[in-house]
Amino acid sequence: MEEKRQTVQHEKTEEGWEPTIVAFLCNWCSYAGADLAGVSRFQYQPNVRILRVPCSGRINPLYIVKALQNGVDGVLVSGCHPGDCHYISGNLMARRKFALLKRYLGYLGIEPERVQFSWVSAAEGARFAELINKVVTDVKNLGPAKQLVKKAL
Partner 1 sequence: MEKTEQIIRETAKELFNSGRVEILIGYEKGTLPFRTRPVFIRNAAEADRLVWNSWCSNNLAVYLPGLFEQKKHKKNEAPPLPPKVGIVAKSCDVRSVINLVREHQIPRQNVVIVGVPCSGMLDAAKIKALLDNEVVTEVAEDGNTVSITGRSRSSGTKVKRDDVVFNACLECCSPMPEGVDLLVQGTARNASQNKYDRVKEFESMAPGERWNYFLSEISRCIRCNACRQVCPNCYCKECFADQTNPRWVDAGDDISDIMLYHIGRIFHQAGRCVECDACTRACPMGIDIRTFTQKLACDVKDLYNFVPGFSPEEPLPLCTYKPDDKQDFITEP
Partner 2 sequence: MEQGILAKTDMKKFIELLIKDHRKVFAPVSRKGRVLFTEVSSADEVKLDYRNTDLSPKGLFLPQCEAICTFTGDAFQEVPLTKDKQVVFGMRPCDAAALSHLDRVFTEGSQKDPCWLARRENTVIISIACSDPLDSCFCTSVDGSPVAKKGSDIMVYTIDDTLLFEAFTEKGKALLTLASSFLKKPKESALEARQKYESAAVKKVPALNLADIKEKLRGCFDLTLWSSIAERCLGCGVCTYLCPTCHCFDITDQTDGERGRRIRSWDSCQYSLFTLHASGHNPRPSKKERMRQRILHKFLYAQDNFKETFCVGCGRCIRSCPVNLDIKETIAVLAAGTGKGA
Binding site for partner 1 (CB under 8 A): 1, 3, 61-62, 65-66, 69, 76, 82-83, 89, 92-93, 95-104, 106-111, 116-119, 127, 130-131, 133-135, 147-151
CA distance 19 to 145: 9
C-alpha pair distances (Å), 20 with each of 12, 51, 84: 11, 13, 29
Minimum Å distance from CB 151 to partner 2? 9
16/128 with CB nearer partner 1: 128
Q: Which does 116 bind (CB under 5 to 8 A by kind): partner 2, partner 1, none?
A: partner 1
Angle between helix 30-39 and 125-142 (nearest 10)? 100
Q: Which does 152 bind (CB under 5 to 8 A by kind): partner 2, partner 1, none?
A: partner 2
